[in-house]
Amino acid sequence: MSKSNLSSRNERNNTKNIYLDYASGVSANPSSIHKEGMKAKIELQNARKEVATILNSQKEEIIFTSGGTESNNIAIQGLVLALQEKKLEKIFNKKLPHIITTNIEHPSVLETCKILQKRKLAEISIVSVEKNGIINPKKIRKEIKENTVLVSVMYANNEIGVIQPIREIAKMIRRYKKNKKNKNQISSKISLPFFHTDAMQAVNYLNLNVEKLGVDLLSLSGSKIERAGRVGVLFKKKSAPLATIFGGGNQEFGLRPGTENLPEILKFSHALKLAQKNKEKEKIRLKKLQDYFIKKLLKLNSNFNDNTKKKTIAKNLVNHKMILNGDLKDRLPNNINVTFPKIPSDLLVIELSTKGIMVSSKSACKSSEKESSYVIRAINPKSDSEIGGLRFSFGSQTTKSDIDYTIKILNKVLIKLKKWYNDA
């Protein structure tokens, strides 16, 4: 709803349209009770309904946020605060609420848990993923105790693209709850623990049906969906109690105060619909590109390890095989993550960038830190702390010729960088 729309004369109804509510917002505020506000409110409700349909949830279970980081914070901090308000610590024998998560979660989950621990609001257990990057649900099961309030496991990893067994974890949690109920260990109506998944990277390629997934909380971010606005979504099952972490108005069921970012929310709901509609087709297309890229990478690696071609390449690299990071089967179709031992990934990112190829070495949210990716170190504890991994992530515009060019340039860059690994 642009300002010019608001101020224009409505000729059909022969009535003027005069906007004298600039203090509410320079464009109509969905919380305003006048006509333009109501129109905005209806648009907001329709967007909420659309997202709810895609997630197979009720519309009251969809909360629009400012982005993925905020969705994760509202989910995790909000749950802990809500349980505190319900004075559940009495049930826990004065123990703090306990959260279980993994060692390769996004910083917006991992750091949020750590902040709660630091502020003595929660106790956390960080479960390690396997060497292929996948979490073993049994390891999570072992950590669950009476005061466990939340299990938070991402749907797909942002760096190495592995897909976590969300349904299996959900099933395990349901089994635990059932057994616990029989033993009458909890008197409260709230059945613990709740299950949260950060689905930011999964959004374009995986099923988001929250019923089938079996999650209580699910986070999405517009910045990972093409043509979506810069907003986020938190799905919150009705039974999951959340307290507000912000002070302010009553927007978004009181959980996300502040004028709703309607223009971006509308873009988000349309883009999410489109992404989910195209996901099967796009998955097949990208899987082919992924397979092709991996084949080319392996060939490139074998060339480097071929003695007859030794002249053109660095001698040390021969003994340091390229590593493909993360499970090759259970992974997103748009992600390839590779480590070239002895070559810092940051250096590769910069070299490729000068040739016009934009890739990354770790979560952008961690890019200002000197250390290499904590995700790569989690799956390969012996890896050099400076090396990390090189992530190629595809989207709708990625073509086979992009990959051919990338492999060609990567080859040149590796040869150019031989000084690095020869001296190493």
| Residue 370 touching a copy of itself (CB under 8 A) | no
Q: What is the smallest separation between the CB atom of 299 and a copy of itself, expressed in angstroms?
A: 19
Q: What is the smallest separation between the CB atom of 417 and a copy of itself, expressed in angstroms?
A: 16
| Residue 223 touching a copy of itself (CB under 8 A) | yes
**Largest alpha-carbon pair distance within the chain?**
85
Q: Which helix (H) or strand (E) holds 127?
A: strand 123-127
Nearest partner of 92 among 192, 216, 240, judged by Cα? 192
| Residue 68 touching a copy of itself (CB under 8 A) | yes
- Would you say 20 or 307 has its CB closer to a copy of itself? 20
Stretch of 140-148, 296-304, 310-318, 356-364 contacting a copy of itself, by CB under 8 A = 356-364
The angle formed by the CA atoms of residues 113, 228 and 67, to the nearest 5 degrees, is: 20
Residue 339, φ and ψ in degrees, nearest 5: -110, 130
Binding a copy of itself by CB under 8 A: which of 32, 56, 191, 303?
A: 32
Residue 391, φ and ψ in degrees, nearest 5: -105, 125
Q: What is the smallest separation between the CB atom of 368 and a copy of itself, expressed in angstroms?
A: 5
Q: What is the smallest separation between the CB atom of 280 and a copy of itself, expressed in angstroms?
A: 18
Question: What residues between 144 and 163 interact with a copy of itself by CB under 8 A?
Answer: 158-159, 161
| Residue 73 touching a copy of itself (CB under 8 A) | yes
Q: How many CB atoms lie within 10 A of CB 344?
A: 20
Binding a copy of itself by CB under 8 A: which of 55, 91, 100, 110?
A: 110
Rounded Cα gap, residues 67 and 71, in angstroms: 6
HEC string of 54-118 equals: HHCCCHHHEEEECCHHHHHHHHHHHHHHHHHHCCHHHCCCCCCCEEEEECCCCHHHHHHHHHHHH
Site string for a copy of itself, 258-297 (x = CB under 8 A): xx-x-xx---------------------------------
| Residue 89 touching a copy of itself (CB under 8 A) | no
| Residue 16 touching a copy of itself (CB under 8 A) | yes
| Residue 246 touching a copy of itself (CB under 8 A) | yes
Total residues at interface with a copy of itself (CB under 8 A): 108
Stretch of 180-188, 244-252, 302-310, 319-327 contacting a copy of itself, by CB under 8 A = 244-252
User: DSSP assignment, residue 156?
Assistant: B
Dihedral sign of CA atoms 197, 198, 202, 204 in order: positive
- Would you say 156 or 170 has its CB closer to a copy of itself? 156
Residue 335, φ and ψ in degrees, nearest 5: -125, 130
Nearest partner of 49 among 216, 228, 270, 253, judged by Cα? 270
| Residue 245 touching a copy of itself (CB under 8 A) | yes
Binding a copy of itself by CB under 8 A: which of 59, 107, 141, 237?
A: 107
Rounded Cα gap, residues 250 and 252, in angstroms: 7
Q: How many CB atoms lie within 10 A of CB 209?
A: 14
- Would you say 176 or 420 has its CB closer to a copy of itself? 420
| Residue 15 touching a copy of itself (CB under 8 A) | yes
